[in-house]
């Protein structure tokens, strides 16, 4: 069905370069429903520029042959104040544009902006978009808006942060999910800590937003592999925010001056943690292990401020969201679940990973 909704992508100019997607040690290839070639190139450019032929060919090769110019999809992101989520939004925007779709970009002001997301989704339903791609601010709490989507017959695809099982059960339907197996990512970090501290270490953990599956999975995966060597002296939810991570680690150091390790469930909290450790003059004693792989986090690995960060594939998430939404709009079935993979980034591979990520890290504005 054709919509009369007029929308435009207001993306700030991006570097028109190619990116080879990150490899993953836990990617099961076509067995998990993903295309065999998930490391192809894509370019992100501003709205006035043409999508690269390479990106257009990649996306079109994975969807039914159809004119998608009549469709409008709404992207509801967690926030546009975090580089990682900007990359997801840009990937959705450019992949949709490669198919000729109209794409609306909206997100909450902060990582936990559930109320804003409820409003965004409800507005998309009122506008009559053809599909919604969602990165939820919380794994639960969006049920009323999702029920509106169901009643309106608007398909939803879930990226990055998985909706919880109770939400899906209440909704009475499965929603496709494409994102990192954060439990496996947490295990990767835990293995690194166990390798470096076989005799044990006093450890603090900075957690994300309480109730998000990403937080629980990164926490439990870490302890699965490092639980035998870490003495967990403190853990605190810092809501994925740099300032909260800084304050939390300041307080943790005061209570635990012999602290040795801080595991941060995202790079923004890790940056705040390092600032607190540096100000305390304890950078030789306290080591930071992080997660996400944003450009500043990768630079922290290069500068040896972080021991490591676990890099995700936000570009792949965005592309898969658009590809599978196109399948739904063409009357085909979307993949139910795809693990987009992650990799541990250390000093050995940080420079290469940074060069790739920088091409997608420019600012994107919400659709006005």
DSSP class per residue in 342-364: -EEE-TTTHHHHHHHHGGG-S-B
Same domain, residue pair 107 and 219: no
Percent of the chain with pLDDT over 70: 86
Same domain, residue pair 187 and 44: no
Q: What pLDDT is attached to residue 50? A: 65
Structural domain count of the chain: 2
Cβ–Cβ under 8 Å, residues 22 and 349: no
Q: What pLDDT is attached to residue 139? A: 81
Model confidence at 42, pLDDT cuts 50, 70, 90, reads very low
Same domain, residue pair 41 and 173: yes
**Domain for residue 4, yes or no?**
no
pLDDT over threshold 90, residue 103: yes
Angle between helices 314-329 and 83-98 (to 10 degrees): 40
Interacting residues of 119 by C-beta distance below 8 A, sequence separation 6+ = none
Same domain, residue pair 170 and 39: yes
pLDDT over threshold 90, residue 356: no
Same domain, residue pair 225 and 124: no
Same domain, residue pair 193 and 171: no
E strand map for the chain: 72-77, 102-107, 131-134, 156-159, 177-179, 201-207, 230-237, 261-264, 287-292, 306-311, 337-339, 343-345
Model confidence at 368, pLDDT cuts 50, 70, 90, reads low
Question: Which of 226, 229, 274, 212 lies closest to 249 in space, CA to CA?
Answer: 274
Same domain, residue pair 73 and 154: yes
**Domain for residue 13, yes or no?**
no
Q: Is 338 helix (H, G, I), strand (E, B) or coil?
A: strand
**Domain for residue 8, yes or no?**
no
Same domain, residue pair 215 and 163: no
**Residue 323 structural domain:** 29-179+314-340+354-360
Report in angstroms the alpha-carbon separations of 367 from 30, 47, 74, 83, 102: 35, 11, 10, 17, 11
**Domain for residue 365, yes or no?**
no
Domain at 330, CATH number: 3.40.50.2300
Question: Which of 277, 269, 271, 229 lies closest to 253 in space, CA to CA?
Answer: 277
221 vs 138, residue with greater confidence: 221
Distance CA 7, CA 129 (A): 11
Q: What pLDDT is attached to residue 101? A: 97
pLDDT over threshold 60, residue 3: no
Question: Which of 24, 28, 51, 50 lies closest to 39 in space, CA to CA?
Answer: 24
Cβ–Cβ under 8 Å, residues 160 and 180: yes
Interacting residues of 121 by C-beta distance below 8 A, sequence separation 6+ = 74, 76, 132, 134, 142, 145, 146, 148, 149
Q: What pLDDT is attached to residue 49? A: 46
Q: Structure pTM?
A: 0.78
Token pair in block for residue 130: 């053809």
Same domain, residue pair 187 and 276: yes
What's the Rg (C-alpha) of the chain? 20
Percentages helix, strand, coil for the chain, rounded to the nearest 5? 40, 15, 40
Mean pLDDT of 38-53: 49
Same domain, residue pair 64 and 118: yes
Same domain, residue pair 146 and 190: no
pLDDT, one tens digit per residue, over 62-71 is: 999 999 999 9
Place of tokens 């970009």: 105
Distance CA 214, CA 209 (A): 9
**Domain for residue 108, yes or no?**
yes
Phi then psi for residue 222, to 5 deg, are -60, -50
pLDDT over threshold 60, residue 48: no
Model confidence at 247, pLDDT cuts 50, 70, 90, reads very high
41 vs 329, residue with greater confidence: 329
**Domain for residue 348, yes or no?**
no
**Domain for residue 3, yes or no?**
no
**Domain for residue 10, yes or no?**
no
Same domain, residue pair 119 and 207: no
């Amino acid at each position: 069905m054709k919509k009369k909704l007029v929308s435009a992508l207001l993306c700030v100019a991006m570097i028109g370069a190619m990116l080879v997607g990150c490899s993953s040690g836990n990617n099961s290839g076509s067995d998990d429903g993903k295309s065999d070639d998930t490391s192809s190139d894509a370019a992100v450019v501003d709205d006035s520029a043409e999508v690269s032929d390479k990106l257009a060919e990649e996306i079109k090769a994975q969807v039914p042959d159809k004119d998608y110019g009549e469709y409008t999809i709404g992207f509801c992101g967690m926030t546009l104040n975090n580089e990682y989520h900007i990359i997801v939004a840009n990937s959705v925007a450019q992949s949709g544009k490669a198919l000729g779709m109209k794409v609306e970009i909206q997100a909450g002001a902060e990582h936990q902006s559930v109320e804003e997301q409820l409003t965004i989704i409800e507005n998309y339903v009122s506008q009559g978009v053809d599909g919604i791609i969602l990165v939820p601010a919380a794994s639960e709490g969006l049920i009323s808006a999702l029920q509106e989507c169901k009643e309106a017959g608007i398909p939803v695809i879930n990226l990055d942060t998985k909706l919880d099982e109770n939400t899906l059960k209440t909704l009475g339907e499965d929603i496709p999910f494409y994102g990192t197996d954060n439990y496996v990512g947490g295990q990767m970090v835990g293995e690194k800590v166990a390798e470096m501290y076989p005799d044990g270490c006093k450890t603090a953990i900075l957690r994300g937003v309480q109730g998000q599956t990403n937080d629980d999975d990164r926490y439990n995966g870490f302890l699965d592999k490092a639980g035998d060597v870490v003495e967990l002296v403190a853990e605190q939810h810092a809501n994925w925010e740099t300032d909260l991570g800084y304050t939390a680690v300041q307080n943790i150091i005061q209570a635990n001056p012999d602290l040795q390790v801080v595991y941060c469930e995202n790079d923004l909290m890790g940056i705040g943690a390092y600032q607190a450790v540096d100000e305390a003059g304890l950078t030789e004693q306290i080591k930071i292990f992080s997660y996400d792989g944003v450009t500043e986090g990768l630079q922290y690995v290069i500068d040896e401020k972080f021991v490591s960060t676990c890099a995700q594939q936000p570009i792949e998430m965005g592309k898969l969201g658009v590809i599978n939404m196109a399948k739904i709009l063409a009357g085909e079935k979307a993949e139910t679940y795809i693990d987009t993979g992650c990799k541990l980034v250390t000093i050995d591979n940080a420079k290469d990973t940074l060069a790739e990520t920088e091409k997608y890290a420019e600012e994107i504005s919400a659709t006005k």
